[in-house]
Amino acid sequence: MTNSINPSDYADIGLRVNNGPVQREIKKELGQADFLALLTTQLANQDPLAPTDSKEFISQMTQFASLDAEQSMVNQLTELSTALTSNQALQASALVGRNVLIDGNESYLHEGGVIAGQLNLDATTTNIRFEVRDQSGQTVRSIAVGTQEAGDLDFIWDGNNDLGERMPPGVYTVAAFGQVGGASEQLRTSVIARVESVNLGGADGQIVLNLAGLGQIGFNDVKEIG
């Protein structure tokens, strides 16, 4: 005779029959608690006649603690990098429509605007002069400054040529020359440019600024924000 068991019989004594497949959570990584559980099990089941050397356990615990600390540091650095990138992106987006100072001698003359920048002098310089050149290389304006001590000297070009005529919008080069220790040389300049837009996905994750008439420049290459 076959006895059949009704699930309600189990319910009467507080049990429940589960006819479905058993679902088990599978961990892909072992955490610190898992490691300690394995270590405890290993200690409890070791051969009492040949116990494992305690130095080996200490070595295992040290290695795991070191690995756990390194992983924690990596996670913290990743979070910090993400936060810095987000903060940098917010700063860069706020630059749209503003002026920035960058190394170089090319700048864009806007309609009714001016070109300005700095002359970067490493030492006292005599006979300083500026030459403003158009895209064909023709000098349209010459400005004599004289002698200046070491430091940053601000300059501005009003957009007019030597005859007082207004020059058309476009890219112009500001070349500066002077004498340092009796030798003539071209001097380092920085120019002011306007930010038109910002790219957040540049090479190596770098934020890129699109400058009016001048193309792109990395956010980290900005010397000063106007």
Range with the poorest average pLDDT among 45-49, 81-85, 93-97: 45-49
| C-alpha span between 28 and 183 (Å, rounded) | 70
Average pLDDT of the chain to the nearest whole number: 78
HSE of 205 in the Cβ direction (CA atoms, 13 Å)?
7
Is the pTM here over 0.75, yes or no?
no
Handedness of CA 163, 164, 165, 169 (dihedral sign): positive
Tell me, what DSSP letter sits at residue 182?
T
Tokens standing for residue 156: 């501005």
For 107-159, the pLDDT digits (tens) are 999 999 999 999 888 899 999 999 999 999 999 999 998 999 999 989 999 99
For 154-187, the pLDDT digits (tens) are 999 999 999 999 999 999 999 999 999 888 999 9
Per CATH, domain 99-225 is 2.60.40.4070? yes
Burial of 139 (0-12, 13-18, 19+ CB in 10 A): middle
**Does pLDDT of 98 surpass 70?**
yes
Q: Break the chain into its structural domains and give their ranges.
A: 53-93, 99-225
pLDDT: is 60 or 106 the higher one? 106
Buried/exposed code over 103-126 (b: 16+ C-beta within 10 A; e: otherwise): ebbbbbbeeeeebbbbbbbeeebe
* Helix pair angle (54-93, 32-44), 10° resolution: 170
Query: Are 172 and 104 within 8 A, CB to CB?
Result: no
Range with the poorest average pLDDT among 37-46, 96-105, 216-225: 37-46
Q: What value does the mean pLDDT take over residues 200-209?
A: 70
With cut-offs at 50, 70 and 90, classify the pLDDT of residue 200.
confident
115's CB contacts (< 8 A; 6+ apart) are 107, 108, 109, 132, 156, 157, 159, 172, 174, 191, 192
* C-beta neighbour count of 219 within 10 angstroms: 20
Position 51 scores a pLDDT of 56
